[in-house]
Amino acid sequence: MNATAASVSAATAPVEVDRHSRLVRVTHWINAISFLLLVPSGIAILFAHPEFYWGEVGYFGDPAALTLPLEPNMDHTAWGRGMHFLFAWVLVLNGIVYLLGGLFSGHFRRQMLPSLAQLRPSHVWHEIVEHARFVRPTGAAVLNYNVLQKVAYLVVIFVLLPVMFLTGLTMSPAVTAAFPELFTLFGGRQSARFIHFICASGLVLFFAIHIVQIFVVGFVNEMRSMIFGKFRIEPSQTKGEQA
């Protein structure tokens, strides 16, 4: 983003600002496509055994930690596994490129790390209330991620996705033969499978809120900024509060 808060607020005509580097945009869309293929293929695999257990072993008839109201069905396992394992690796390799780019360019430090002012409980509460009312950001606030957005992105990038990756590896006998420490980390293959499902559910929840927010803030402008890197700020938006 190359426009300053002051220049945006002083503008009397629409201002177009640079937003999202090429690396962020390309990796974001590869990530989005992978995710949209991983979810249905994951569900297809899940249908084979819609029960979860805690610990190392578990099978139908054992006490389950969670039983989903689904009829077991093996018909979709083959394509599900093929697609899931292929796009899991696309997501991982793309994620490594995004992580390295974000670390070396200072993207995470500058755009994602919440400031101390943003972490004040009163400010966090203010953001929660504004979100609950679907209030669109105004003024210089449109140039930056808000604190809830930053925390959500950081949790997705540094908690949910890495745990998905590690629990996914823990379900692979070939990987755990080489790295049995993964069993110790997650308490067994079945626990890893359950944690994988819980994190996947968290990601689906994030995704649903992410899409709603994009419509609330302005779908066309948001998509243009994530595809072409240009974000348009209307003069009416520039006369609001300063973040």
* Closer by beta carbon to ligand HEM, 19 or else 193: 19
Name beta bridge partners: 230. 18
CA 35 to chain centre: 9
Q: Does 90 bind ligand HEM (CB under 6 A)?
A: no
Instruction: Please say whether the beta carbons of 41 and 83 come within 8 A.
Output: yes
Instruction: Please say whether the beta carbons of 68 and 42 come within 8 A.
Output: no
What span, in angstroms and rounded, lies between the C-alpha atoms of 114 and 136? 19
Please count the other Cβ atoms lying within 10 Å of the Cβ belonging to residue 212. Answer: 11
Q: Does 88 bind ligand HEM (CB under 6 A)?
A: no
Residues 148-167 that bind ligand HEM (CB under 6 A): 153, 156-157
Please count the other Cβ atoms lying within 10 Å of the Cβ belonging to residue 50. Answer: 17
* Closer by beta carbon to ligand HEM, 47 or else 153: 153
Instruction: Please say whether the beta carbons of 218 and 212 come within 8 A.
Output: no
* Closer by beta carbon to ligand HEM, 179 or else 207: 207
Q: Does 222 bind ligand HEM (CB under 6 A)?
A: yes
Tell me how many residues contact ligand HEM (CB under 6 A). Answer: 17
x/- letters, 39..78, toward ligand HEM (CB under 6 A)? ----------------------------------------
* Closer by beta carbon to ligand HEM, 2 or else 12: 2
Q: Of 47, 42, 49, 48, which is closest to residue 83 (Cα–Cα)?
A: 42
Q: Does 238 bind ligand HEM (CB under 6 A)?
A: no
Q: Which stretch binds ligand HEM (CB under 6 A): 41-49, 120-128, 223-231, 234-242?
A: 223-231
Please count the other Cβ atoms lying within 10 Å of the Cβ belonging to residue 120. Answer: 13
Q: Does 38 bind ligand HEM (CB under 6 A)?
A: no
Half-sphere exposure of 221 (CA within 13 A, CB side): 19
Both tokens of 65, joined, read 């930690």
Name beta bridge partners: 18. 230
Both tokens of 91, joined, read 């997501």
- Tell me the closest approach of the beta carbon of residue 189 to ligand HEM, in angstroms: 25
Residue of 124, 210, 216, 240 interacting with ligand HEM (CB under 6 A) = 210
Kind plus residue range of the DSSP H or E element containing 233: strand 230-233
Residue of 207, 209, 218, 229 interacting with ligand HEM (CB under 6 A) = 207
- Tell me the closest approach of the beta carbon of residue 32 to ligand HEM, in angstroms: 4
Both tokens of 217, joined, read 């803030």
Residue of 15, 24, 45, 192 interacting with ligand HEM (CB under 6 A) = 24
Contacts to ligand HEM by CB under 6 A: 24, 28, 31-32, 35, 111, 153, 156-157, 203, 207, 210, 214, 222-223, 225-226
